[in-house]
Amino acid sequence: MKTKKIFLPESEIPRQWYNINADLPTPMEPPLHPGTGQPVGPDDLSPIFPMPLIEQEVSQERWIDIPEEVLEKYLIWRPSPLYRALSLEKFLDTPAKIYFKNEGVSPAGSHKPNTAIPQAYYNKISGTKRITTETGAGQWGSALAFSCALFGLECKVFMVKVSYYQKPYRRMMMETWGGTCIPSPSSETEAGRKILAENPDTPGSLGIAISEAVEAAVMDEHTKYSLGSVLNHVMLHQTIIGLETQKQMAIAGDYPDVIIGCAGGGSNFAGLCLPFVHDKINGRDIDIIAVEPTSCPTLTRGPFSYDFGDTCQMTPLLPMHTLGHTFVPEGIHAGGLRYHGMAPIVSQLLLDNLIRAEAIPQMETFKAGINFAKTEGFIGAPETNHAVAATIREALKAKEEGKEKVILFNWSGHGLVDMAAYDAYLSGKLSDHVLADGEIERALSDIAPLPKPKQFKG
Ligand SMILES: Cc1ncc(COP(=O)(O)O)c(C=O)c1O
């Protein structure tokens, strides 16, 4: 009988995160102050983030110790199991070996607590009383509410309006962990009121919700803001995924030829692949693929430029692939992939050809998710199904080429709170959305006056 699950004992949990900034072939350009256009310093960030996280954001140390208090909480569900998708392989009749890292086993149901827990911890030891954040599908908001509960912090979540109504159970999860969740745009902030006055029927977007959460944090000295993706310290915390996987692949006696993750802001993709990118920089041949929706094609169709992380231009300007901070993606069910920007680290890796990107339409992702559920049993989040769809494409390619490739992907979260999305798909209510060039050009005209990075690619 072939091995199905590869477990790592608790004693083998990685005790350090991996910081790719120490190894990037092309150093990243600095974030710029939204007002002055000058590189931001720690003092500019201190109204929104606690100092230990700011230090991690700019750190060049290759390895950063995971505090004992964080490890203790990680042990609630980590190390997460690595699975061999034997039934999916059989269904596809592929010579490829397919492995997936199951990040859906966390209490919140996704990879998001990997960074929510250290962020809550560093805020707690820095004296923060309350944390604000945004959430798309609700995965991040629930992860942060869970983590704040563990460290005795208040948590306030601005949830993108379209998802707030599509996914009421996520709000209930946040409330169960003691958090507060309101639909964004809201009338509680100046940013929200401005957007509502201009467009009362907006479905909302992550960019708008970030503006609201940042504003709510800067208005109160005991409140800080927390971001669930995009920033360097978030990518750092998520490397626990790839570091565990490297040990588990060694136990399985395999090494991946192809690595796949879906990418919204880039964190679960980066979390799995960064330790392997380190190997690639040192000579390993690995095809590493970030997968995004065709209706929000940040990496495949967006330029590499400086842009704001939020719609109302409150965050620093980040060097990244972007569709423009005013871009409001179609209300697809993969709410966590509806973000106009991308992590600067992931953007830089794409520029340096260390990774590549693929966009997949919504219908193909649901079909893939359902085939995965029927073979492997697990029902994935709509975001996660993008990685499943790309994996199926690669496994079928291996079949055509007759190659026994090893494919590894990140199963970033379960979809048990997303069943309305499956219902819409199964009852024929979903369709593919093709994004017209004009829509992207319109959103990009807003970033034309902004400073350009040295590697600007239009
Ligand atoms: C299950 C799941 N996967 C993926 C994502 C995309 O985020 P990221 O690219 O930061 O991993 C999200 C975001 O909410 C998510 O909930």
HSE-up of residue 185 (Cα within 13 Å, Cβ side): 24
Ligand 1-lining residues (CB < 6 angstroms): 110, 136-137, 139-140, 229, 262-269, 336-337, 381, 383-384, 412-413
Q: Hey, whose CA ends up nearest to atom 6 of ligand 1?
A: 264
Residues 85, 408: Cα–Cα separation, whole Å: 10
pLDDT in tens, 230-270: 999 999 999 999 999 999 999 999 999 999 999 999 999 99
CA of 273 to the centre of ligand 1 (A): 15
DSSP 3-state of 368: helix
Could you tell me if 354 and 273 are in contact, meaning their C-beta atoms sit under 8 angstroms apart?
Answer: no
Q: Hey, whose CA ends up nearest to atom 5 of ligand 1?
A: 336
Query: Between 53 and 333, whose confidence is greater?
Result: 53
Check pLDDT > 90 for residue 409: yes
CA of 5 to the centre of ligand 1 (A): 23
Mean pLDDT of 48-62: 97
CA of 298 to the centre of ligand 1 (A): 14
Q: What percent of the chain has pLDDT over 70?
A: 100
Residues 395, 372: Cα–Cα separation, whole Å: 13
Check pLDDT > 90 for residue 434: no
Residues 405, 337: Cα–Cα separation, whole Å: 28
User: Mean of the per-residue pLDDT values for the chain?
Assistant: 96
pLDDT at 202: 94
Per-residue pLDDT band for 456 (boundaries 50, 70, 90) equals confident
Nearest to residue 235, comparing CAs of 151, 326, 348, 69?
348
Q: Hey, whose CA ends up nearest to atom 10 of ligand 1?
A: 267
What are the residue boundaries of the structural domains of the chain, listed by start?
A: 70-109+232-445
β-strands 356-360, 287-293: how paired?
parallel
Residues 414, 420: Cα–Cα separation, whole Å: 14
Residue-wise over 363-398: b if at least 16 C-beta within 10 A, else e?
ebbbebbbbbbebbebbbbbbbbbbbbbbbbbbeeb
pLDDT in tens, 121-154: 999 999 999 999 999 889 999 999 999 999 999 9
pTM above 0.75, yes or no: yes
Instruction: For residue 351, give Cα distances in angstroms to 226, 321, 441.
Output: 27, 9, 21
**70-109+232-445: in CATH 3.40.50.1100:** yes
Per-residue pLDDT band for 346 (boundaries 50, 70, 90) equals very high
pLDDT in tens, 276-332: 999 999 999 999 999 999 999 999 999 999 999 998 899 999 999 999 999 988 877
pLDDT in tens, 417-429: 999 999 999 999 9
Other beta carbons less than 10 A from residue 328's beta carbon: 23
Q: In 284-418, where does DSSP find H-type helix?
A: 298-301, 344-351, 362-376, 384-401
Could you tell me if 141 and 133 are in contact, meaning their C-beta atoms sit under 8 angstroms apart?
Answer: yes
Q: What percent of the chain has pLDDT over 90?
A: 91
Which ligand 1 atom is at minimum distance from the Cα of 384? Answer: 3
